[in-house]
């Protein structure tokens, strides 16, 4: 019976950790563009922000009526980076998979 209790405790701890990561942090994907040719994925604390778990400038623009444009992308990236600048946990390489998740599978030219 002792083994079962330990296993149960580990499952609860793991679920708590996953919930904390999902609800407390997020990933912002910067598609490769002229200023950042290799792109970037930023893992940040998103507590208090109204930003999805996985987001990108293009994905956020798709949810508005403005559409995706180079100017819109630059403005959205600037706004989000200003919000998360002091909440960054880790800067990672560009992830095409996370980018496509943020745009519901739609890709845009750089």
Question: Per-domain residue ranges for the chain?
Answer: 25-102
Q: Say if residue 9's pLDDT is above 70.
A: yes
Q: Would you say 68 and 58 are in contact if contact means Cβ atoms under 8 Å apart? A: yes
Q: What is the rounded CA–CA span in Å between residue 11 and residue 26?
A: 23
* H helix intervals, the chain: 2-24, 57-62, 70-84, 96-102
40 burial type by CB count under 10 A (0-12 exposed, 13-18 middle, 19+ buried): middle
Q: Would you say 110 and 33 are in contact if contact means Cβ atoms under 8 Å apart? A: yes
Q: Please report where in the chains the tokens 């990561």 appear, as a residue.
A: 21
pLDDT digits (tens, 9 = 90+) for 29-88: 998 877 778 999 999 999 889 899 999 999 999 988 778 888 888 899 999 999 999 999
What average pLDDT score do residues 1-13 get? 89
Q: What is the rounded CA–CA span in Å between residue 37 and residue 57?
A: 16
């Amino acid at each position: 019976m002792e083994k079962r209790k330990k296993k149960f405790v580990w499952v609860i701890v793991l679920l708590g950790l996953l919930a904390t990561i999902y609800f407390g942090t997020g990933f912002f994907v910067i598609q490769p563009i002229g200023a950042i040719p290799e792109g970037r994925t930023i893992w940040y604390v998103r507590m208090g922000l109204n930003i999805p778990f996985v987001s990108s400038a293009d994905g956020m623009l798709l949810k508005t009526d403005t559409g995706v444009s180079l100017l819109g992308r630059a403005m959205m990236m600037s706004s989000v980076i200003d919000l998360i600048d002091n909440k960054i946990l880790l800067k990672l390489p560009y992830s095409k998979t996370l980018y496509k998740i943020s745009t519901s599978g739609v890709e845009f030219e750089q």
